[in-house]
Structure 1
Amino acid sequence: MSASNRFHDAARNIWHKSRVIRPVYWFCYKHIRYALHHNPLGKIYFQHRKDVTYDQYFPSFYNAHRDEPVDERKVIFLEPVQPRITNNMRLIRDRLARSGKYTIHEHYLRANYAYRWQWKKNCAAFLSDLATAKYVFLPEASQVLSCVDMRPETIVVQTWHACGAFKRFGFSTADQLFGADREEQLRHPYNRNYTYVTVSSPDVVWAYVEAMQLQEHEDIVRPIGVSRTDVFFDQDRIRKAYQKVYQKFPAARGRKIILYAPTFRGHTNEAEAPDKLDVRAFHKALGEDYVMIIKHHQLVRELPKLPEDLTGSFVYDGSRSLDINDLLMVSDLCISDYSSLIFEYSLMERPMLFFAYDLEDYFDWRGFYYNYDEMTPGPVCRTNEDMIDYIQHIDERFDRQAVKDFRYRFMRSCDGHSTDRIMKLVFGDTMAGER
């Protein structure tokens, strides 16, 4: 090994193992970047850099290959943020892989996680590959995909990572504190070049049309179901989910499971977890009959600390170790706040609580598509005491019909065959009957 390589390896080890250098670096980076973004000259610089990146640099990689023949067998799965194929594309990818009829390419941009140079390298590789692809699937918005003039032969399918329509996203947030403002979203769109957008119910089509600015092409949004929901109708998958959870958290066996699964607070690149849940109060009141599993949003990097004496015996943090679908399948009760996972959980027709202690602030921050208090199929609680009291009297207070009505309104296209309909829509009869 050369001296240069040894130096880089040593520097890398110091960077990853140091408890001082990295926190200091990120503290300085965060505050310097904030100062630059809020300085007039800094704003001009960052805007110019973004314009060059999305208007010239990225399109150049796509345009360099767009005159080459389209590969009719090439299917690209794009993950703008996550380092793996997430569950809203997994069933589609696996079915295509088993068929052997298509060549599957996967790209992970790692926005907000990779260093800028690595992210740009990832984007360049994706765009070069995209130019000759016949099919593209992605589960969330992407300015990178949206910055090119897509050739008409390519079919782009937005499977979206959430069901229903709860908190506002995309262009619906243009007048909110969350997300990019109206001018920026028009200048560099997030949701462009789609052929199809698949959603969970006819009742939510309007929200996706608004969020993705598809008013002139409403037929792009298809209420044929969400692929990820098919697993909730698979009894073998449910059985395995119980096995996985009991293996990770043996104390859950023989007791009822409370799932606490909130969404994040703040911007996506600096997502923070809510920290108002009183685990000790829940243990004191419900510890004999219940256990609690916590699943924070995948964008949250720093997880709140749990009481050490209760960890493993009453509470378990599955944020990094358990799949959210598994947890939705096995939990007897779900506590959330503004997370769209309530739509999937409604398929189980089990009790839900909404810990909305900061409802007014969150509404000002991001907003909702529907009246929050009217749409939630369970009690909206402001305190831990309210939640505990409800659970203690859950047999007489749980309104199953409210959950059924909610399920029909927002999830009626999800019946265990969503992936079948998506495959037929995109690939026609070539994938008919493939499993």
Structure 2
Amino acid sequence: MDKLVCGAEHIDWNSNAERIYIRGYALIRGKNIDKNYKVKKSLFIYNDDRKFIMPAQNELRIDITDKYRDDNTNYDYAGFEGFIELSSINYNKPLSKGVWKIGLYLNANGEKIETDLKYVGDKKELKHMIPKEIQPDNKKFIRKEKLEIKDGFITINVSDEKLSSNEYIKNITINSPMAIQLKKNLKSMKRKFGNWVLQRIYSIARHKKIVENRVTFLSDSRVDFTGNFEFIYNELQKRGGYEIKSILKPSITAKRSLKELISFVNYLATSKYILLDDYYPQIYKYDIRDNVEVIQLWHATGAFKTFGFSRIGKKGGPRVKSRNHRNYTKAIVSSENIKLHYAEAFGISEDRVISTGVPRTDIFFDEEYKNKKISELYNKYPILKDKKVIMFAPTFRGSGQKSATYDFEVFDIKKLYESLGDDYIIISKLHPFIKEPMNIPNECKDFVIDLSKEREINDLLFITDILITDYSSVCFEYSLLNKPMIFFAYDLDDYIASRDFYYPYESFVPGPIARTTSDIINIIKENNFEVEKLEKFRNTFFDHFDGKSTERVVDTLLKLDK
């Protein structure tokens, strides 16, 4: 039996990335790797001449204990994730030629081992990783960095390929300013032609009969029925009589297939009901048929940060004549008090905005669901049972998905641990746009657990005692539990200047505002949560407290003609 058990289960790298993300597990048989033992892991990359070590973050993996335990040994913290920064190895220059190997260093309770790292994940995952091509100073060569699995181990093979005379001429030609502009023009022409073809198909499909019981779900931010979609879908299934279609993809940058595009225009032309849950640019190009309902369920509750046409004149805001959002026939909100804001944001009349309540908030009034989720989460993360749980759930900074980031240095984990570590534990739930994980110091691994990969933040709210957020709409859902919140707005002035809010932030949020980590600590130690603000906040942003918002949406907006 091997003493060291390790493997990389997931690798993420593409030709545009300067870093390789690796997630996996590592353990030494018979050595405990739980919260009571010091565990340190690092990734390293090396060749015959050089070696570079980069710290990895421990990750809670109870499944590894279940899989490998052969006595009373605990391997709960065998998981790891980390990055290898390729750009830092050779001062932003290409890697030197040859084979670079990737390895793992493990220190488990004083026993140290390092080894080359095997890939134990799905090999299909690696197919999209095309070689990275770099143009050295000598334009007669192309340097390729290619991730390969050799004898099961992860390597990067770096080689130079000499260009033929024709390729050399082509290479210096295609990189000229004129060639770059030409490529942009051709790409634009291709996109316009594709849109023209789809419009023609849509014009033909409009002559088909509308299918009165067809409901089509469209999203650029999810690949399955979650959030409001899940609740509406389940209700439609329960009632029966609906024909349900969907076109979903994980992000706005993910490409659609030709088949999906043709299905999209066909469903758009023939469905009685079209359901959206977020910004969906593909639909704004089309004139919606009479008697077809395009219903925006919107992913956020309440009205907090300005969005849509409320941001005209601000960076990233729409043009005045933009078609975005304007073809919604209906939109749902949680309260009559915010109808005006949503009408303004979507560029539609106020009578199209309906206060049905938000379907995904129904769980806050379902005791059976609540108790089930609490039990599931405690079984999955038993470390959370014994202390008060603080959830850290900030929104992203940046203009959108591609530029999303967060300044983790302002949230001083060590300082929080020193002051609160005896009584509290922090779970981190980052916005899905934030791809860089929080760097948790090794000594704080039993104080902060990153649960960003958990699908539903609302389920985590049930086990949360204090919420720390900033400008996220999660504060609306959490207010339904009547629990304390802290608003960590370290960059409030900058955020107001770039994004702004529908209400004055300082008087609007239902809890104290913290500008520093010390402020957070003082608020918690002094129990100064301003909970008296919660009732007014709830009554302003919610009309319904009965757990029947999903039923109202279907009854009001998705009727079937009997």
Q: Structure 1 pair 393/120, CA: closer, same or farther in 2 (3 Å)? A: farther
Deviation at 1:234, TM superposition (A): 0.6
The corresponding residue for 1:3 is none
Distance 1:157 1:370 in 2: 26
More helix by share: 1
**Does the residue aligned with 2:275 lie in a helix, a strand or coil?**
strand
Change beyond 3 A, Cα 1:386–1:77 = same
Please name the residue that 2:552 is paired with: 421
Partners of 1:10 and 1:228 in 2: CA distance: 36
Instruction: Give the whole-Å Cα distance in 2 for the aligned partners of 1:194 and 1:244.
Output: 38
Q: Could you tell me the TM-score, scaled by structure 2's length? A: 0.65
Aligned equivalent of 1:78, options 218, 221, 246: 218
The offset of 1:430, in angstroms, is: 7.0
Once structures 1 and 2 are overlaid, which stretch shifts more, 274-283 or 352-361? 274-283
Q: What is the CA distance between 1:10 and its match in structure 2?
A: 9.2
| 1:241, distance to aligned residue in structure 2 (A) | 1.9
For the aligned residues, what is the CA RMSD? Answer: 2.9
In 2: Cα distance, 1:61 partner to 1:352 partner = 51
- Structure 1 residue ranges (4+ consecutive) displaced by more than 4 angstroms after TM superposition: 9-12, 17-23, 39-54
Deviation at 1:140, TM superposition (A): 1.1
Distance 1:286 1:304 in 2: 19
In the alignment, residue 205 of structure 2 is paired with which amino acid?
Answer: H
The unaligned stretches of length 5 or more in structure 2 are 1-121, 133-144, 148-155, 157-176
Name the SS of the counterpart of 1:272 in structure 2.
Answer: coil
Point out where structure 1 has 5 or more consecutive residues left out of the alignment.
1-8, 24-35
Matches within 5 A, 1:214-363: 214=348, 217-270=349-402, 271-275=404-408, 276-311=410-445, 313-363=446-496
Indicate the residue corresponding to 1:134 in structure 2.
272
Alignment of 1:173-188 (within 5 A): 173-177=311-315, 179-183=316-320, 186-187=321-322
Distance in 1 separating the partners of 2:345 and 2:435: 27
Match of 1:130, SS state, is helix
Instruction: Tell me the SS of whatever aligns to 1:157.
Output: strand
Question: Alpha carbons of 1:107 and 1:262: their partners in 2 closer, same or farther (altered >3 Å)?
Answer: same
Larger proportion of strand: 2
CA contact (8 A) 1:224 1:414 kept: no
Task: Check 1:229–1:211 CA distance in 2 against 1; reply closer, same or farther (3 A cut).
Answer: same
> In 1, Cα distance between the equivalents of 2:291 and 2:417?
58
For the pair 1:68 / 2:200, whether they are aligned, the reply is no
CA distance 1:309–1:363, change in 2 (3 Å)? same
**Structure 2: distance between partners of 1:204 and 1:50:** 37
Q: Does 1:210 align with 2:379?
A: no
Deviations 1:32-76 (A, max 9, x none): xxxx9xx9989877776666555x244233223111111122111
Q: Report deviation, 1:124.
A: 3.6
- Pairing partner for 2:535 from 401, 404, 408: 404
Does the residue aligned with 1:236 lie in a helix, a strand or coil? helix
Partner AA of 2:375 in structure 1? Q
Letter in 2 for 1:337: D
Q: Distance in 1 between matches of 2:506 and 2:448?
A: 29
3-state DSSP class of the match of 2:441?
A: coil
Q: Percent same amino acid at aligned positions?
A: 35
Compared CA separation, residues 200 and 10, structure 1 to 2 (3 A): closer
| Residues 404-424 of structure 1: CA deviation (Å, up to 9, x unaligned) | 111111123353111121111
Q: Does 1:195 align with 2:195?
A: no
Q: Which piece of structure 1 moves more, 271-280 or 138-147?
A: 271-280
Letter in 2 for 1:77: F
Q: CA deviation at 1:171?
A: 0.9
Matched residue of 1:363: which SS? helix
User: Which of 121-130 and 191-200 deviates more?
Assistant: 121-130
TM-score by length of 1: 0.83
In structure 1, give the amino acid aligned to 2:550. Answer: T
Q: What is the CA distance between 1:137 and its match in structure 2? A: 1.2
Instruction: Map Cα deviations across residues 378-434 of structure 1 (whole Å, 9 max, x no partner).
Output: 11111001001101111xx23322011111111233531111211110234879xxx
Partners of 1:175 and 1:280 lie apart in 2 by 41
What per-residue deviation string (whole Å, max 9, x for no partner) do you get for residues 259-303 of structure 1?
111111112232223412112222211112111111011222222
CA gap of 1:21–1:228, structure 2 versus 1, over 3 A, is farther
Match among 298, 301, 305 for residue 163 of structure 1: 301
Cα separation, 1, equivalents of 2:124 and 2:382: 41
Measure the CA separation in 2 of the matches of 1:43 and 1:219. 42
Q: Residue type of the partner of 2:293?
A: I
Higher-Rg member (1/2) = 2
2:205–2:265 Cα contact (<8 Å) kept: no
The aligned counterpart of 1:26 is none
Q: How big is the shift at 1:12?
A: 7.3
Q: Quick check: 2:468–2:485 contact (8 Å CA) kept in 1?
A: yes
1:150 aligns with one of 283, 288, 291? 288
1:53-100 Cα deviation digits (max 9, x unpaired): 55x244233223111111122111111222222311211101111223
The aligned amino acid for 1:404 is E
Partner of 1:182, secondary structure, is: coil
Q: Which region of structure 1 is more displaced relative to structure 2, 205-214 or 272-281?
A: 272-281
Q: Distance in 2 between matches of 1:125 and 1:318?
A: 36
CA–CA separation in structure 2 for the residues paired with 1:136 and 1:193: 11
User: How many residues are aligned here?
Assistant: 398
Amino acid at match of 2:530: D
Partners of 1:95 and 1:77 in 2: how far apart?
14
In the aligned structure 1, how far is the partner of 2:540 from the partner of 2:233?
29
Q: Secondary structure at the match of 1:64?
A: helix
CA contact (8 A) 2:212 2:560 kept: no
